[in-house]
Amino acid sequence: MALLPTLLLVLAVAAGVSAGEGGEEERTYIVRVDADAKPSVYPTHAHWYEAAVMSASDSSSSGWPEGGPLIHTYSAAFHGFSARMTPSTAAALASAPGVAAVLPERVRRLATTRSPRFLGLLSSPPSALLADSDFGADLVIAVLDTGISPAHRSFHDRGLGPVPVRWRGACSAGPGFPPASCTRKLVGARFFAKGYEAASGPMNASAEARSPLDTDGHGTHTASIAAGRYAFPASTLGYARGVAAGMAPKARLAAYKVCWAGGCFDSDILAAFDAAVADGVDVVSLSVGGVVVPYYLDAIAIGAFGATEAGIVVSASAGNGGPGGVTVTNVAPWMATVGAGSMDRAFPANVRLGDGQVLDGVSVYGGPALEPGKMYELVYGGSSGGASSSSSGYSASMCLDGSLDPATVRGKILVCDRGVNSRAAKGDVVHRAGGVGMVLANGAFDGEGLVADCHVLPATAIGAAAGDKLRKYISSSTKQRPATGTILFEGTRLGVHPAPVVAAFSARGPNPQSPEILKPDLIAPGLNILAAWPSGVGPAGVPSDVRRTEFNILSGTSMACPHVSGLAALLKAAHPTWSPAAIKSALMTTAYVKDNRNGTMTDESTGAIADAFDFGAGHVDPMRAMDPGLVYDIAPADYVTFLCNLNYTEQNIRAITRRTADCRGARRAGHAGNLNYPSMSATFVADGTKATMRTHFIRTATNVGGGRATYRAEVRAPKGCNVTVRPSELAFRRDGQKLSFVVRVEAPVAAARKMEPGSSLVRSGALTWTDGRHAVRSPIVVTVQAPLE
Ligand SMILES: *[C@@H]1O[C@H](CO)[C@@H](O)[C@H](O)[C@H]1NC(C)=O
Ligand SMILES: *[C@@H]1O[C@H](CO)[C@@H](O)[C@H](O)[C@H]1NC(C)=O
Ligand SMILES: *[C@@H]1O[C@H](CO)[C@@H](O)[C@H](O)[C@H]1NC(C)=O
Ligand SMILES: *[C@@H]1O[C@H](CO)[C@@H](O)[C@H](O)[C@H]1NC(C)=O
């Protein structure tokens, strides 16, 4: 045993080297071990892990950083460690005794729309009843994000009782984050950068802080959405004036900083899950995009399973890859996957053109205005010049860095196409080239989805149809009759119809890993959300932005997720015995699918009716979720049965659940769609032999409505399908009683013969159990896939 430290010392000489023996690149792997498999010769798990890595690697392998090969060790949400090693070492390790799985590190991105690929807009008005109640005061919400700005008034601890006694968390001090940063409101703060630095080298300490301090703004924003205090007046540069409050204003917060300038690394995220479980949090909020890999290779899905088993609700953003199909991420059935909707608030900033046309736009620009009444010359880099000599019309049309010619641009309003660089960065490029304003135009791909941004110059965003009109107007202009226009900023408008709509960027189903589980689960406000912002960061999120604002307006499923995290904390406070699955069920079965015009919610990108692949069970309804009547509960063992029915191997299942699974019984019992989920999704592949295909869903409802109750099934069958429910009446005699039923679905597969090969037909319906007081709604989605030929 004394050999081990010596060996480490020798190996440490080559610290920082990342190419291993034989030129193989080293990378980070996350290794799952069987917790009770540690040979007794090793005093601690860390000793065993180090020895395992060393013996799996060729002994002449490259060195490890000071302190040994381990990056993190995990023991609560997960058992195992992360380490740098070559792929061949990882492969050798995978077959070592006690090793359940070896996962390659992946890098995730924040799910705001500030990143270039996405579109971008709200804050939910918390109901007076929930906000006034003491609900949530003893619960801790973990926010895994970019850290937190601890001194913000949204995180003041005035009037809060002592820190809950069961709290075991810590406050890690560091640059910009003195030990006194933690309070009775912000009860814990930690940071996890070892995985990031192992992959990217030491961080730039003048650009980011090796502490829980938020130098980006995203983490402060999301934390205040989940659990910010009342802050009045709150607005960003004059927009959205009013009270800012999180969903659970009295809940405690714990910040786990896992996202850095270089991204959010799985090994660090897993370390945060592990710490959060050990610290005793109640809810984990994760506004970070996912990856599309099977659950047994997905570190977030595995970490979230460990947290769920410990009774913690995990709420995650669905991602911003919409409006295309199969874009949803963070799709494991034990997580709540949250998409984004709009609120009935808008920030109109329309473009008036020289020929009298007015194009609808949106903006939350705040700062020196354009001259009232003056018409400015409009320039579009894609057609009417404006490109610098060294760049193409294409990059000028996108307003990429360095693409604009200051001599042409000065004093004009630039039209920039959306895409490639971020929306705020385009404003910065135009500003630096001397432009006085910008109109950001969607292309066909972006559709009509708009995000209001706090640009560094007067700017607005317009949809694809308006963008076409604008480009056409500019291309028809001449030297004698130049294209002119101005932007009319109209401030904040309330009572907008229709609302909510599904945000264009919100990621869509079906679920690529298990289509039997409908994802996203639900939507929450995620468009133009006002929430807390750090004092050291400009609202546009570009370095040149020297404006300061206490609140900022951002859009993304990143903003939708913490609404659900805060609500989950309120539900858990009101119903301490409910499992994470019961809480999720309450949120889903009470969600609504109608907008404020009493029509089915629509899709922002097209204006067409949206369906369950867009909004899941619907838009979250906090008041109704408190009293759902029935819940569909799921125990950890049920997920094992589910994984068996996905045909995962026992080794795969063990990587997720730490349990040895015997799948024989489970496979006999049915199919993955029989997980007791609050929604139902059936996929049929037409094989051309039968006219109709059938499936069934077994569900068990638990009565949480407070006593005797009789529920009747109301079915709205998906068009062309037959749905029957047996029994069609559930008579509960007492609270907590469980009753099961079967839903049979028949779909007309014959229709698929007329479809394009490989295309699919989606039909939505619903099953609603009602007792006169509650309506417990589950979407039923039927997908018929035409044969590939
Ligand atoms: C570190 O960040 C500072 C401030 O943003 C920047 O000026 C400097 O160039 C960066 N250094 C490196 C090595 O990237
Ligand atoms: C909404 O529409 C439904 C039918 O689609 C109708 O029964 C109901 O009365 C309407 N509600 C309102 C408030 O208009
Ligand atoms: C699992 O395998 C069985 C038998 O081969 C098959 O019928 C079933 O469709 C498979 N399930 C999934 C989810 O792939
Ligand atoms: C639905 O039921 C009717 C009556 O039993 C039957 O004629 C029809 O074919 C069924 N449709 C499907 C899609 O199975």
Note whether 556 and 686 are same-domain residues. Answer: no
The alpha carbon of 644 and the centre of ligand 3 are apart by a number of angstroms equal to 10
The one-character DSSP state at 37 is G
Q: In whole angstroms, what is the distance from residue 469 CA to residue 74 CA?
A: 56
Q: Is the pLDDT of residue 61 over 80?
A: no
How would residue 385 be classed by pLDDT, with cut points 50, 70 and 90? low
Q: Residue 753 sits in a domain of what CATH number?
A: 2.60.40.2310
Domain span holding position 695: 630-634+676-785
Residue nearest to atom 1 of ligand 4 (CA): 722
Same domain? 78 vs 180: no
**Cβ distance 424 to 114 under 8 Å?**
yes
Residue 285 phi, psi (nearest 5): -115, 125
In testing the pocket of ligand 4, which one of 715, 722, 749, 784 has its CB within 8 Å of the most ligand atoms?
Answer: 722
Res 422 pLDDT > 80? yes
One-letter amino acid at 217 equals G
pLDDT in the model for residue 120: 22
Chain length of the chain = 789
Within this chain, do residues 575 and 712 fall inside the same structural domain, yes or no? no
Neighbours of 372 (CB within 10 A): 7
Asked if 329 and 390 sit in the same domain, the reply is no
Which ligand ends up closest to the CA of 645?
3
**Claim to verify: residue 399 and residue 377 sit in the same structural domain:** yes
Q: Is the pLDDT of residue 689 over 80?
A: no
The pLDDT tens digits for 261-300 are 989 999 999 999 999 999 999 999 999 987 889 999 999 9
Handedness of CA 62, 65, 69, 72 (dihedral sign): negative
Pocket flag, ligand 3, residue 649 (CB < 6 Å)? no
Question: Does 503 map to a domain?
Answer: no
Taking only the tens place, the pLDDT of each residue in 321-331 is: 999 999 999 99
684: three-class secondary structure by DSSP: strand
For position 10, what pLDDT does the model report? 28
Q: Are residues 127 and 239 in the same domain?
A: yes
Residues 480 and 553 in one domain: no
The catalytic residues are 145, 218, 558
pLDDT, the chain, mean: 88
| pLDDT score of 62 | 52
319 lies in a domain?
Answer: yes
Distance CA 570, CA 325 (A): 32
Q: Which pLDDT score, from 0 to 100, does residue 146 have?
A: 97
Shared-domain flag, residues 353 and 289: no
Q: Is 770 inside any structural domain?
A: yes
Report residue 6's pLDDT band, with 50, 70 and 90 as the boundaries: very low
Atom 4 in ligand 4: residue holding the nearest Cα: 722
Residue 263 lies in a domain: yes
Q: How confident is the model at residue 41 (pLDDT cuts 50, 70, 90)?
A: confident
Which residue among 513, 643, 644, 647 is best mutated to probe the pocket of ligand 3, counting the most ligand atoms within 8 A of its Cβ?
647
Whole-number Å distance, alpha carbon 242 to ligand 2 midpoint, is: 31
Q: Is the CB of 475 under 6 A from ligand 1?
A: no
Is the same domain home to 43 and 147?
Answer: no
208 CA to middle of ligand 1, Å?
10
- Same domain for 148 and 225? yes
Of the residues 203, 206, 544, which should be mutated to test ligand 1's pocket, given the most ligand atoms within 8 Å of the CB? 206
Nearest protein Cα to ligand 1, atom 5:
207
In a domain, 639, yes or no: no
Last residue of a domain, one of 491, 519, 554: 491
Select from 491, 521, 551 the last residue of a domain: 491
Q: Does some domain include residue 510?
A: no
Q: Please state at what angle helix 45-56 crosses helix 3-11, rounded to 10 degrees.
A: 60
Report helix, strand or coil for 464.
helix
Residue 631's closest CA among 665, 592, 587? 587
Instruction: Give ∠ CA 163-168-171 in degrees, rounded to 5.
Output: 80
pLDDT at 430: 95
By DSSP bridging, strand 80-85 and strand 27-33 are: antiparallel
pLDDT of residue 386: 65
pLDDT-derived band of residue 758, with 50, 70 and 90 as boundaries?
A: confident
Residue 695 alpha carbon to ligand 4 centre in Å: 14
- 366 confidence band (pLDDT: 50, 70, 90): confident
pLDDT of residue 789: 64
3-state class (DSSP) for residue 428:
helix
What distance in Å separates the CA atoms of residue 402 and residue 404, rounded to the nearest whole number? 6
Q: Got the DSSP string for 519-541? A: SS-EEEE-SSEEEE--TTS-TT-
**Contact (Cβ atoms closer than 8 angstroms) between residue 192 and residue 232:** no
Instruction: Indicate if 380 and 471 belong to the same structural domain.
Output: yes
Q: Which residues of 25-46 are buried (b: 16+ CB within 10 A; e: fewer)?
A: ebbbbbbbbeeeebeeebeebe
Question: Is 544 near ligand 1, meaning CB less than 6 Å away?
Answer: no
The CATH number of the domain holding residue 406 is: 3.50.30.30
Q: How many CB atoms lie within 10 A of CB 681?
A: 26
The Å distance, Cα 699 to ligand 4 centre, comes to 23
Which residue, of 49, 78, 104, is where some domain finishes? Answer: 104
Find out whether the beta carbon of 646 lies less than 6 Å from any atom of ligand 3: yes
Q: Which of 560, 506, 498 is nearest to 529 (CA)?
A: 560
* Ligand 3 atom having least distance to the Cα of 514: 13
Residue 39, C-beta contacts closer than 8 angstroms, at least 6 positions apart: 48, 98
The response to whether residue 724 sits with its C-beta less than 6 Å from ligand 4 reads no
The span from the CA of 536 to the CA of 220, in Å, is: 12
Residue 7's CB: how many other CB atoms inside 10 A? 14
Has residue 165 been placed in a domain? Answer: yes
pLDDT in the model for residue 9: 29
**181 closest CA partner among 140, 216, 211:** 211
Residue type, 739: L
Residues 295 and 229 reside in one and the same domain = yes
- Between residues 7 and 223, which one has the greater pLDDT? 223
- Residue closest via CA to ligand 1's atom 13 equals 204
Of ligand 4's listed atoms, the one at least distance from the Cα of 746 is 14
Number of domains the chain is built from: 4
- Sheet with 252-257, side-by-side order of all strands: 186-191, 252-257, 140-145, 283-286, 313-317, 336-341, 522-525
What is this structure's pTM?
Answer: 0.90
**Nearest Cα to Cα of residue 248 among 149, 126, 147:** 126
Q: Closest residue (by CA) to atom 4 of ligand 3?
A: 647
**Angle, helices 299-309/636-645, rounded to nearest 10 degrees:** 140
* Residue 501 falls inside a structural domain: no
Percentage of the chain beyond pLDDT 70 is 90
The model's confidence at residue 406, banded by pLDDT at 50, 70 and 90, is: very high
